[in-house]
Structure 1
Amino acid sequence: MESVSTSSVMDIFNLLKVCCSQSCNYIMTYGGTFSSLASEVGKLKDKSSDVKRGVEAATRDGMTPRSEVLGWLSSVQDMEGEAESIERKYNQKIKYLCSFPLNICSAYRLRNRAEAALATIRELKQSVEFTKLADNLNLTRSIKMPTTKTIGMDKVFEELLRHAKDDSLSVIGIHGMGGVGKTALLRRFNNDFPSETEADVVIFLELSIDYKLEEVQKSLFDRLSLTWQDEVTHRDRATKLFRVLSTLKFILLFDNLWEPLNYQVVGIPLPAPPSKCKIIFTTRTEDTCSHMGTEKMIKMECLEEEAAWNLFRNSSRMDVIDADKNVRIEARDLVKECGGLPAALIVLAQAMAPKKTWEEWMHALTIMKDTPHQLPGHSLVWRS
């Protein structure tokens, strides 16, 4: 009986010895876990600092940090606080005596806590690769533009749409003489195309003949909801525009270019195919297209006779044309004098709408042939 008892006691003692040995080893090697935690926290702080700088820069550019990024930064902050708490308790409460902690239970719980924090920190380090730090959620994707009728332009419009959807083309130039309808075509594109594209923003800018760099930059700043500062240099504005536009799938529409636009000076990143970004512009000369790095040129021609007649008829209601054969003949001759220019046809239709007699139409035809500049609205014909 005594032998059995002694044996049982020894078994229990050996079991306790093994358990205590394992627990002691677990507790005593806590220093290595704490060192790893401190190292990983330091690396996480470095990554967090990089992300914070990116977020701050995006915020200065008027952009809104993405929720996933803010959530990650919040989690990092929480884990930094947790690591500091663990370090503080380690230094204050777990004191060693002969390489063994006085409070074994506290040391055991603290190591478990440290290992959990270490695992979370490593997960945060692995999930730091964000595709985008911020979005401009307040950015208006497109703004509809008032436009005139584009009767007879369906063929060239379809050509423009086809090229705009081609990812191998980034810069498209539309050229043709004044009054041929370039502005109307580009405005129609601005109004109709955005619903079919993946673009983040479609920007339409109509440039004056003697436009200045500051005017172009100011228009882009306004459209992108960026803060304009008068004291900032052109170069700094260009840098800011470049940084913002580089994060977007943009379509820039420049109407009425009289001379080449320097993308770099303005701050516009030149799209490199394949790309969803596009730069589309109108100009009177083919030479401007060449200097703008155009990959596809579209030449706009005057309307053919029947298309010109339809545009004239549809631009203003004139029942007198249907009611009076003689007036209809004069109207046909007037349309021919316009040479198929859409702008001239529209202005002429609006000017002739109130004319009810054959004599008035005959008089208008005489003026059109001899002194066309005297017709109402003639100066508007040559704007496009």
Structure 2
Amino acid sequence: MAIEACLAFLTNCVSEGAKSLFNPITRQISDVFKYQSYIDELKVQVKQLGYKREMVQQPVNHARLQGDELYEGVTDWLHSVDEFISEGVAKSIIDDEERAKKFCFKGLCPNLMSRYKLSKQAAKAAEAAAGLVGKGNFSNVSYRPTPKSTGLNDGKDNEAFDSRMKVFQDVMEALKDDKLNIIGVYGMGGVGKTTLVKQVAKKVMEDKLIDKVVMAEVIQNPDPQKIQDKLASDLGMKFDLNDSIHHRASRLRERLKQEKRVLIILDNIWTKLELDAVGIPSGDVDEKDREDDQRRCTIILTSRSRDLLCIDMNSQKNFWIDALSKEEALQLFEKIVGDSTKISAFQSIANEIIERCGGLPVALSTVANALKTKERDFWKDALNQLRRSDAREIHGMQANVYTSIKLSHDFLESEEAKSLFRLCGLYSEGHAIQVSDLLRYGVGWGLFENVYTLEEARSRVHRLIDNLKSSCLLLDGDAEDEAKMHDVIHVVAVSIAAEKRMFNIPNVADLEKKMEETIRKDPIAISLPQRDIQELPERLQCPNLQLFLLSAEGNGRMQISDLFFEGTKELKVLSLTRIPFSSLPSSLGRLINLQTLCLDWCQLEDVAAIGQLKKLEILSFRDSDIKQLPLEIGQLTRLQLLDLSNCRSLVVIAPNLISKFSQLEELYMGDSFSQWDKVEGGSTASLAELKGLSKLTTLEIQFWDAQILPQDLVSVELQRYKICIGEAWRMWGVNSETSRMVELDGLENVSSLLENYGTKMLLKEAEEIHLNELKSVQNVAHELDDGEGFPRLKHLRVESCSEILLIVGSVGRVHCTVFPLLESLSLWFLNKLETICDSQLTEDQSFSNLRIIGVQSCHKLKHLFSFSMAKNLLRLQKVEVFVCDDLEMIVGKC
């Protein structure tokens, strides 16, 4: 008190002018001697802050127990309080209090400097503590969080597999593109679409590319209200019970607009879903909102159907998930089984089981989980069941695999597509499915409605196959006319077909017993594909059987009883492959309803009985050993397709027989009959008979002598043809996508052929031309096409033509467009070829579509392209040159 009185006295004594200088000094001196009161005040505030912290901590603890989220301000306040009380300024000041009480100058004077500093710190800290107390008045410390999208953390590590990593990265890149607002992911059931998009969802949230992810499963019979409920739940909102679906959609749309950028995943779409009706902005909104909505909202759709995504849902980019590779399948299988010793012990069984799961993660995981605790006998039994194509007997298979694939079948757009899928299930497992066979069987069985020509049927088959591929029930084959089916899909297809009384009989030891079991089920279709069969029942008693397929792969000893077809009067489609017939079964002639008969790769002698099958529309002897086509065949006046391809032993076709097939649309005689008579009505068939086939649209044929070619044969309206004029049928390397192809082989006088026998029209319309061992041709474009430039040609192969000097050339400039559609050019063993083009091309379209060129053993060729040709090669991708000794440069003069 004395010190404070003294300070007051000094202040009053000084002049008013000095007060402005003296006041700060007096405050500092005052702070020195008030330090204790400041520290006491700090202690009070720290105690108050502790009380406040306790009041806040209790509701915080309760919120955490309830799974609620703390407000960020509450979390920050608690952190600041803990730091202030326990670790920060307050603790340091209070700890320094004792040091400030000590005296200096041998105990004669207080430590004024320490007290001054401590006083200032205490005053400031007390003020800060009071501020923290005031900020701790929270009316609510937490909130109920928006539910995380269900199952987003269930995504397994797709990126562990290379095949998945690529798709994963592609989808991630697509999500970064603001121009894309609807992205599709498609693949067969069980292939891992849902797993992949969940992984994508996790990644975009981790990388902060998206602020919110919501997800709903659509299923095969979508309920818009359930979809709305799921999306609303993920967004933390609720609808009123009385809200109409339109009002819910409006509220959901407005809620989605509140997110800066949101990812919506609609999983497992089976049919068209009206996004705007649900409340999902899709771009089909008012023009002024469209750009903002698209930038704000990105949609990922998963489906088994590519067409559904592209056509019905307007997805802008689609990504296909294929089955796992063999290596990836083994990796997954081993990971689930876990016991590497067991896999090693059962390796051969494991390998086949993995192969038969077709790379489907669902199938692999289902089977692997069923086997991982089992012993060898259980593994062998599981494999046997897979071999017998009864997926439902595998533990867990029905729920996880069979059902998912069957759903794909059930949801196909038409009964025709379902029938074609079941028909594919009658093929041998793992073998290519020939599209041409599906056409022939389907037409004979009457699967296609409202089709009246083979051309219409072919279009229908291709559309249905594309539909099956889109639904991932079929895959592309190795060739254009082939399709493939995954083994697991095949297993389910066999089972589904059996439900419709269509039976694919496995290669069992006791065929007789299996056939008896099948016959008792009153089948409408039976297939014994690729079977080693020695003996069949004497009589096939199946009164409702409509389709029977048999392919023998044994040693050629199997015989079919004369009575075999007695009990199959309703049969419409019959295919017998690789059967060594000494004579056809007599009962075959009683199949009065038969419409498709295929006797491919068979040994055939007398086939006259076929003439009794008056309803026959499709008849095939492809690759068979048949010597004569008898007159009785002429009774088949309803025949639309006759296939004699590769019947190299065929030497006799009665004259005027072919002309009786007035309904014939397709005739296949490539690498077959060569004994054509020059005149009509001679000792054997003549090409002139083809002129009477007014409905012919497809022709494959070979004749050695160009002089027997009718002048007006090419006037027939052929949509597809493969015509070989010359010594050898060399249709190897034919591009399957081309429909009109001509081969000239070993001809001496080509100019006479072109002038007198109408071949120029065939060449002009051709999409593919092969020229082999021609004599007296020097300039391909000038001599074979009258300078018109082959306007439709896509593929040209010139081989061993000893006189050819160039492909395109004339005096001066070439003014017309040459080879505007040509994609590939092959030049082999042309000893005199000097250049491809020796003239100035004036048209930019010449060679403008060329992608591939291959040159081999053209020893006089000095350069590949002239400058005028090279400047048009904007699409060139591949150039292969082999053994061209004089080649100096790629681009030369002209």
- The alignment's TM-score, normalised by the length of structure 2, stands at 0.26
Aligned to 1:122: none
Q: Aligned-pair distance for 1:187? A: 1.8
> Is 1:287–2:287 an aligned residue pair?
no
Q: What is the CA deviation profile of residues 112-171 of structure 1, one whole-angstrom value per residue up to 9, with x for unaligned ones?
A: xxxxxxxxxxxxxxxxxxxxxxxx995457664323453422221111111112222111
- Report the counterpart of residue 367 of structure 2 in structure 1: 348
Looking at structure 2, the residues matched to 316 and 193 of structure 1 have their Cα atoms a distance apart, in angstroms, of 32
Whole-angstrom CA distance in 1 between matches of 2:220 and 2:210:
28
CA distance in 2 between partners of 1:366 and 1:193 (Å): 44
CA contact (8 A) 1:263 1:269 kept: yes
Aligned partner of residue 179 in structure 1, secondary structure: coil
State the distance in 2 between where 1:148 and 1:376 align. Answer: 22
TM-aligned CA distance change 1:149 to 1:199, over 3 Å: closer
Residue identity (%): 27
> Alignment RMSD, CA only?
2.4
Of 152, 155, 158, which aligns to 1:147? Answer: 155
1:265 counterpart letter in structure 2: A
Per-residue CA distance 1:61-112 (angstroms, 9 max, x = gap): xxxxxx9xxxxxxxxxxxxxxxxxxxxxxxxxxxxxxxxxxxxxxxxxxxxx
Q: CA–CA distance in 1 between the matches of 2:149 and 2:194?
A: 17
3-state SS of paired residue (1:172): strand
Distance in 2 (CA, whole Å) between partners of 1:368 and 1:318 is 22
**Closer, same or farther in 2 for the Cα pair 1:373/1:312, shift >3 Å?**
same
Distance 2:392 2:295 in 1: 46
Judged with a 3 Å threshold, the aligned counterparts in structure 2 of structure 1 residues 364 and 137 are, in CA distance, closer, same or farther, namely: closer
Q: Please tell me whether residue 223 in structure 1 is matched to residue 234 in structure 2.
A: yes
With 263-272 and 293-302 compared, the bigger mean Cα shift is at 263-272
CA contact (8 A) 2:149 2:213 kept: yes
Q: Tell me: CA distance 1:142–1:220, structure 2 relative to 1, closer, same or farther (3 Å).
A: closer
The answer on whether the counterparts of 1:142 and 1:201 sit within 8 Å (CA) in structure 2 is: no
Letter in 1 for 2:349: E
Alignment match, 1:306: 327
* Correspondence for 2:380 among 339, 352, 362: 362
Q: Does the Cα contact within 8 Å between 2:215 and 2:230 map onto a contact in 1?
A: no
Query: Match for 1:316 among 326, 337, 347?
Result: 337
Distance 1:304 1:185 in 2: 16
Please list, as runs of the form range in 1=range in 2, the aligned pairs for 1:29-44 lying within 5 A after superposition. Answer: none
Distance 1:266 1:171 in 2: 15
SS in 2 for 1:368: helix
Matches within 5 A, 1:7-156: 138-139=145-146, 144-150=152-158, 151-152=160-161, 153-156=164-167
Decide which moves more: 174-183 or 204-213: 204-213
Say whether 1:296 aligns with 2:296: no
User: In 2, distance between residues paired with 1:243 and 1:368?
Assistant: 52
Q: 8 Å contact 2:155–2:199 — kept in the other structure?
A: yes
Contact 1:260 / 1:292 at 8 angstroms: preserved in 2?
A: yes
Q: How far did residue 211 of structure 1 move?
A: 2.3
Pairing partner for 1:373 from 374, 386, 392: 392
Distance 2:215 2:281 in 1: 17
Task: Classify 1:137/1:163 alpha carbon distance in 2 versus 1 (closer, same or farther; 3 Å).
Answer: farther
State the SS of the aligned residue for 2:266. Answer: strand
Q: CA deviation at 1:352?
A: 0.8
Among 251, 257, 278, the residue aligned to 2:269: 257
Q: Is the 8 A contact 2:205 2:211 kept in 1?
A: no
1:278 aligns with 2:298: yes
1:180 to 1:198, Cα distance in 2 relative to 1, 3 A: closer
1:302 is displaced (CA, Å) by: 1.1
In structure 2, relative to structure 1, the CA distance for the partners of 1:300 and 1:323 (3 Å cut) is: closer
Distance change (3 Å), C-alpha of 1:240 and 1:204: same
From the superposition, tell whether residues 367 and 142 of structure 1 become closer, same or farther in structure 2 (CA, over 3 Å).
Answer: closer
1:40: which partner in 2?
Answer: none
Residue equivalent to 1:210: 221
Distance 1:366 1:137, change over 3 A: closer
| Aligned counterpart, 2:720 | none
Bigger shift: 198-207 or 249-258? 198-207
Tell me the amino acid that sits aligned with residue 299 of structure 2. I
CA distance in 2, matches of 1:354, 1:137: 43
- Residue 175 of structure 1 corresponds to 186
Q: Which amino acid aligns with 2:380?
A: M
Q: In the aligned structure 2, how far is the partner of 1:198 from the partner of 1:306?
A: 33
Give CA deviations for 1:268-315 in whole Å, capped at 9, x if unaligned.
112556725310010010121021120101111111111111111112
CA deviation string 1:223-249 (max 9, x = no partner): 222232121111111111111112211
Structure 1 range deviating more: 337-346 or 141-150: 141-150
Could you say what secondary structure the match of 2:264 adopts?
A: strand
DSSP-derived class of the 2:171 partner:
helix
Determine the C-alpha separation between the residues in 2 that align with 1:190 and 1:333.
Answer: 35
Cα distance in 1, alignment partners of residues 317 and 309 from structure 2: 9
Give the number of the structure with larger relative contact order, counting CA–CA contacts within 8 Å between residues 6 or more apart. 1
Q: Given residue 384 of structure 2, which amino acid in structure 1 is its aligned partner?
A: T
The CA distance in 2 between the partners of 1:202 and 1:231, in whole Å, is 27
Give the letter for the 1:341 counterpart: L
Contact conserved, 2:333 with 2:365, CA < 8 A, in 1? yes
Is 1:199 aligned with 2:210?
Answer: yes
Give the structure with the higher percent helix: 1
Query: What does 1:326-337 align with in structure 2 at a 5 Å threshold?
Result: 327-337=346-356
* 1:339 equivalent in structure 2: 358
- Give the TM-score taking structure 1 as reference length: 0.60
SS of residue in 1 equivalent to 2:295: coil
- 4+ runs deviating over 6 angstroms: none
* Structure 2: distance between partners of 1:348 and 1:294: 34
The structure that is strand-richer by fraction is: 2
Using the TM superposition, give the Cα deviation of residue 197 of structure 1 relative to its aligned residue in structure 2, in angstroms.
3.1
1:199 deviates by: 2.3
User: In the alignment, residue 252 of structure 2 is paired with which amino acid?
Assistant: L
Distance 1:177 1:322 in 2: 28
Residue 266 of structure 1, aligned match among 265, 268, 278: 278
Deviation at 1:320, TM superposition (A): 3.6
Larger CA Rg, structure 1 vs 2: 2
Rate the CA distance shift 1:353–1:338 in 2: closer, same or farther, 3 A. Answer: same
- Paired residue type of 1:221: A
Mapped contact 1:199–1:276 kept (Cα < 8 A): no
* Secondary structure at the counterpart of residue 153 of structure 2: coil
Structure 1 CA distance for aligned equivalents of residues 256 and 156 of structure 2: 30
> Which amino acid in structure 1 is aligned with residue 218 of structure 2?
L
Structure 2: where are the runs of 5+ without partners? 1-72, 74-142, 284-289, 406-894
Number of matched pairs: 247
Unaligned runs of 5+ in 1: 1-66, 68-135
Contact 1:171 / 1:278 at 8 angstroms: preserved in 2?
yes
SS of the aligned residue for 2:392 comes to helix
Which letter maps to 1:232?
Answer: D
What's the secondary structure of 1:335's corresponding residue? Answer: helix
Tell whether the 8 Å contact from 1:207 to 1:256 is kept in structure 2 after alignment.
Answer: yes
Cα distance per residue 1:304-339 (max 9 Å; x no partner): 111111111112312343541xx1111011000011
